[in-house]
Amino acid sequence: MEQPVDVAEFSIDSDSEVEFEPLEVPWWVVLLEGIIAILVGLFLLYRPGQTTIFLIQVLGIFWLAEGILSVVGALIFSGNRVWKLLSGILSIIAGVVILTYPVYSPFVVLTLFVIFIGIWAVINGVVKVVLALKGGGWGTGVIGILTIILGLLLLVNFVAGVLVLPWVFGFFLVIGGIGALIGGFRMRT
């Protein structure tokens, strides 16, 4: 006959601390990431159409390769086979469509991305407004309302978002790349 399990035996020691070691990355890797980010950002700022087409093509190649590996993994390894197979097939289809239609695919991918950002902004804005109403402060409420307005603007006129998105990414890549350069040089010294 089974004996009852004493729950006290399985208590978690709340006094113990989990320590994380910092990620050790060579300074030159951070510097190289910064240089690549700046270059891609400048290309997006000065040649947004061609650069976006190129980057979406690279994305299509990655999706195709990931899909093939996922399907092979689903056939060879057990565990989550249905999801791996479904994910792999969808990735292969997306990769093939992107590589087959190089001119139209960036518009479709960016449109879906802008719609996703718009939906996310509306949801995030609503959450901020609710937090503001529960005592989060009027600043949180203002940011929430502005986020909702931005999300609705993107959802109503996503074509404008698609046309502006490469420049926004380019700007943030250049700024982030400069930050990575500064961080890389600081790591060296």
Q: What tens digit of pLDDT does each residue of 32-59 get?
A: 999 999 999 999 999 998 998 999 999 9
Q: What is the mean pLDDT of the chain?
A: 87
Give the residue from 188, 170, 158 showing the smallest Cα distance to 52. 170
Element containing residue 27 per DSSP (H, E): helix 27-46
Query: Hey, where are the domains in the chain?
Result: 48-103, 106-189
Q: What tens digit of pLDDT does each residue of 120-143 get?
A: 999 999 999 999 898 878 888 899
More confident of the two residues 122 and 188: 122
Q: N- to C-terminal Cα distance for the chain?
A: 67
CA distance 183 to 26: 11
Q: What is the pTM of this model?
A: 0.68
